[in-house]
Chain A
Amino acid sequence: MNTRVPTVNDLRVKLCYICREEEHFDSAPQGPPKEWTHPCKCTLVAHESCLLKWIQTSQGDSSRAANALKCPQCGAQYELESDRPVVYRVIGAGNRLLQKAGRLFTLMSAVGAVVVFGSGVYILLTAYGAWAVKQLMGNEMFDLLLTDDPANWPWTAFFNLPSLTLSLILSRFQSIQQIPTLIPILLVWPPSTPIGAHSRLLDDYWTRPSDARTLALNSLPSLTSWPPSPFVFGLFLVPITRAIYRRFFAKLQHWVLGSTPLTSRRSNGLNLQLGDVGPFFLRIRVQDAQRPAEQVPAPAGGNEPADVAPEDLDPVAAAEQLIEIDSASFGRRVGGALLIPAISSVMGSFLFRLSKRSQLLRNILGVRPPLRGLLPPAFGLTLGAHDWEKLSFIKQLGMAFRLVLNATWNGTRTWAAADPVWWRNSLGLGIFVVAKDCIQLLHLWLAKRELETRRVKTRDFEGIDIKELDLIPSFVRNLA
């Protein structure tokens, strides 16, 4: 007497509801044996590999994701078993949380934009730009360059500040290679002379001979001074470092994941991302599909598409697709970009605090005591007009050349003498970017592993009338 409930392995003929291949219990299947699964409460059975492929494809399409784990006939939920470590779930939850925050940001900025349209936008951009400069440069340098009172600002600030904000936002909508990141823009700041009260204070200071002598002692800092000037940093170091880092990180990605993720292959980010601007497209009934991969290849007669192997989504691309459903939103992108100055400020002060314990770090960061209102003028020229005339023409030329070179490498004296908050903030931002990339990579790797370890939970045919099933003779014999 057979009291056991039959399972998928007791069927005489198994018919995969997806590929429609049959397998008889007493004949060996063609090709390698495939796992069978009975994942629901009705009589549908399928190859596990077919079903996993269907689930994976449906989950990658936001309009079908809701039905991905539902039996099309009885509506029972499929149960998946896979390797999902706690870290994967935590990162996933974090990702969804950021997604929600991004959506909220989209909503709020839509409302905000309507309210403060026109000149309001300009003021907003400028104020944000000033805030960003302050975050990145630190209060001291901010007071030197801009001060809190817009009346003191040089006219260039009214162009630079709003364009800084715009470039921050735009940087998120261009491909990685072209990002004009904020740093070059922030740091190729016109070699501003001190303004307002400071400059008057400075003039007084400068005209006293005793003070002038102390300054003159180190009037021309050596070319090798640390940190490099913002100019050199923004124009050369940042692009070079970024290029090297990208190349290295792409290699790392390839090594960890076994293939290159789509996001790194994309040449033009903007096209894809426009499709993600969900809320704004709601009213449009007809919209081109975003992924050309879905296009039906329609070869002319004679070209037999049947011989083409089905294109398998490689696991990395599939994992990416799964994550991207959670992460691609307009609000998250722009909101994230606008937080960059704050992040860099926080990271910078974190580095600063660390540097109190390490002389090496202090040297790397080039920490200097605050100036307390006294500072040398923009160019460290200590020669009076009288001295200048005494020099020969060649010497004059040489002096001028040295001054220019110095200003290029070291920046103006204003920059060189002040505590380089911008430098530690930029380093901090760099560390943040690396950490963020690493977390993303970990997420992708875990998602890929989750996909690879997936199994559909198979059930027995409990609750189904045994007469409805076409069972193998030995099972029926035992039953009798």
Chain B
Amino acid sequence: MASISARRLSKELSEIRSEGCPVGINLVQADDFATWLFTIEVMGESLYQGEVHTLQFRFDTSYPISSPAVQFVVTDGKQAPVHPHVYSNGHICASILGNEWSPVLSVVAVCVTLQSMLASCKKKERPVDNDRYVRNAPDNPKKTRFHYDDDTV
């Protein structure tokens, strides 16, 4: 019997395949239940017009009890968007990926939330402690304990 995480992810996958992703979000790769890739772009007027970024989801076997590890891909010439909550190594400081994760959320819901996080951005800049963080950052962003000090973005 497949694990709960595999069964839930296969459901999410078949929903994506039958109903499609929301506008601006595209599934690139979901060959297994460990790593999925999406492209994400902000539609309409925004600071990120014309930019396409790649989002990587990594799941462990406790998904959806434990949150997925989500980050922007920064290899193969891809880049993370310049945003006050996105570090240059692709790690994202967003509470729904940490202490506000809930199993009621889904992969698509996370994509949509991150899309709107970009859309509402007023100034393109890196987080203040970007250099320090990137130097010491663990490979998996879930191992970082972020402080969600700014609830407005």
Contacts and interface: CB of A to CB of B under 8 A. Distances in A.
Interface of A: 17-21, 31, 44, 50, 53-54, 57, 61, 63-64, 67, 72-73, 285-289, 294-299, 301, 304-311
A20 B140 contact: no
B151 to A, nearest CB: 15
A64 B99 contact: yes
Contacts of A53: 65
A308 B32 CA distance: 13
B12 interface: yes
A310 B62 contact: yes
Contacts of B61: 297, 305, 308-311
B52 interface: no
15 contacts: A18-B104, A19-B7, A20-B8, A53-B65, A287-B145, A288-B143, A289-B143, A289-B145, A295-B60, A296-B59, A296-B142, A298-B58, A305-B60, A306-B9, A311-B61
B137 interface: yes
A306 B103 contact: no
A310 to B, nearest CB: 5
A295 B66 CA distance: 10
A16 to B, nearest CB: 9
B76 interface: no
Interface centre among A21, A54, A298, A306 (most CB of B within 10 A): A306
A305 B69 contact: no
Contacts of B98: 63
B104 A294 contact: no
Contacts of B7: 19-21
Contacts of B129: 285-286
Contacts of A72: 102-105
B23 interface: no
Nearest to B3: A310
Interface string B115-139: 0000000000000010011001110
- 10 A-B pairs with least C-beta separation: A306-B6, A72-B102, A18-B103, A63-B99, A296-B60, A306-B33, A72-B104, A289-B143, A20-B11, A64-B99
A21 B1 CA distance: 14
Given A44-B104, A298-B35, A310-B4, A18 B65 contact: yes
B64 A18 contact: yes
Contacts of B132: 286
Interface string B1-39: 111111111011000000000000000000111110000
Contact of A306 (B3, B101, B136, B144): B3
